[in-house]
Amino acid sequence: MRRAAVGALLPLTLLLAGCSGAGADASSDTARISAAQVTLTPGDNASEVPAQGGVQATVRDGRLTQVTLKDDDGHAVPGTVSANGASWQPTGKLLPETRYTLNAVAVDKDGLQAAKHASFTTFVPKNTFIGFYNPVDKSTVGVGFIVSIRFNRAITEQAAVLQAISVTAKPAVPIAPHWFGAQRLDFRPQKFWTPGTVVTLALNLRHVEGAPGVYGTQQKSITFTVGRSQISTADTDSDTLTVVRDGSTLRTLYISAGGPGHSTYDGTMVISEQDQVTRMNSATVGLGSEYDIPAVPHAMRLTDSGTFVHGVYWRPASVFGSQNTSHGCIGLYDVAGGYSDSTPAGWFFDHSMIGDVVRVVGSDGDQVAPDNGMSGWNMSWADWTKS
């Protein structure tokens, strides 16, 4: 196939108009008109032109020598001319909601040129998608934070969407994406973030086709900072929670973890929410009507499935450090109301932030799944970078 643009053009022969000079030969001012007849699809000022199949240039009694299709910013859409030079079609997709200009030049058998021009606008998408992201702009997070984007529609064109999203860090560090199914995309470095790192998530999804006929709408940039390192270890054998900040132990607290039949997940989890008080209802986690507590204090979510570190005021202080009695959460002694910062739960709440790491060891429960909250640290780097 021949490319659309084919070198320099011959001077365009114009039809002369008006009166000739005194004494001139009348036959000398009769211009020759090209026999080539160029047709452009769509016509000038057309609208709602589709992304594919709605644009072409054709010629009768001649061959195309140059065709250009550009948007208002000057970005060209590639295309090819047929072997006989009679038609041209774009090989790239057109963007939605965009104005394009189509110009074509052809020559007839005598080398005389004909030209055609058209401007048109493309369709407004009827189906769109957006990504719900977890970092809050200008926030400070812990070293275990994983950037997670959850799309409201299944993404089948994952390569195109991934190309339109970037996560970068200062100082620079390798950051890799991982797809969990068709609607979730996470980003993390190989190891926990270094304190002080500034991370930027850029979503350039406007006009990106995430699935056939489904286009993105977002154009956003979100920046957050990684704060101090806090990594806490919950040992369900000793019933303790040891809080280590920047390499030094801040405090060891007594806990009550998952009891018989309800073991706490093992592995590395990350605080994703903090609520002064929250309602916990067993029906929402598949445990029927075992409990419904309307105001659980100092609640810090670890998994999407409902694992929390939270305050417990309905059991005596003697339980903590000696018995595992929960339905899988990590309980700390507390008082009702979520206002006290002097209880173990209140202290841990006040000394924690979203993105802080909580590791569970000693549990006979299953290891937490990498897509259950910000638990991707339980996947090896080799497995993480496979997709």
Which CATH class name applies to 127-227?
Answer: mainly beta
Domain positions in the chain are 2-122, 127-227, 230-378
Active-site residue numbers? 310, 329
Q: Rounded to whole angstroms, how far apart are CA atoms 329 and 239? A: 12
- Residuewise pLDDT in 10s, the chain (387 residues): 333 443 333 344 333 333 333 344 444 445 789 999 999 999 999 999 999 999 999 999 999 999 999 999 999 999 999 999 999 999 988 999 999 999 999 999 999 999 999 999 999 999 999 999 999 999 999 999 999 999 999 999 999 999 999 999 999 999 999 999 999 999 999 999 999 999 999 999 999 999 999 999 999 999 999 999 999 999 999 999 999 999 999 999 999 998 887 899 999 999 999 999 986 765 666 666 555 677 889 999 999 999 999 999 999 999 999 988 887 899 999 999 989 899 999 999 999 999 999 999 998 889 999 999 999 999 999 999 996
Query: 230-378, superfamily in CATH?
Result: L,D-transpeptidase catalytic domain-like (2.40.440.10)
Fold of 2-122: Immunoglobulin-like (2.60.40)
pTM of the entire structure?
0.83
Q: Does 230-378 match 127-227 at the fold level? A: no
